[in-house]
Amino acid sequence: MIKQQQFLTMKFNSDRLKKFNYDIELTINEAIRNKELISVFENQLIDSILDINNRQIDYEKIENLKKEINFLKKQQSSEENGKLITQYQDEINEEIFITEYKTIRMDSKKHYENLNQNG
């Protein structure tokens, strides 16, 4: 059975978007710290975004990095192994992060109307 790939996208409350005048720019690490990064399974929308951007996901690289992380986790804990695990996880995150896909939780009808009218 083939495992379905998960991707990372950002999720915001509309109140937070409003604070930033509906224009937030965050790095993956900032989104992780703010708990604004979510996982979604591959779907038609993600496939379309990847096609439009002519972007190829290197699934083999992702699997190799995951295997390396699992191997390092089984080794004796060390600062060097910790840094490598973090580096490999960052590489995976960069590969599976879809910047064009954002989820918005609407806090009020006015926020929805504003986003609907102004994009």
Digits of tens for pLDDT over the chain (119 positions)? 456 789 999 999 989 888 888 788 889 999 999 999 999 998 899 999 999 999 999 999 999 999 999 999 999 999 999 999 999 999 999 999 999 999 989 888 888 887 778 76
Tokens of 24: 């937030």
Residue 113's pLDDT is: 83
Name the nearest CA neighbour of 69 among 46, 49, 93.
Answer: 93
pTM for this structure?
0.82
Count of residues in the chain: 119
In the numeric block, the tokens 């708990």 are attached to: 35
Chain Cα centroid distance, residue 25 = 13
Chain Cα centroid distance, residue 93 = 6
What are the residues whose beta carbons fall under 8 Å from the beta carbon of 9, sequence distance 6 or more? 37, 38, 39, 40, 97, 98, 101, 102, 103
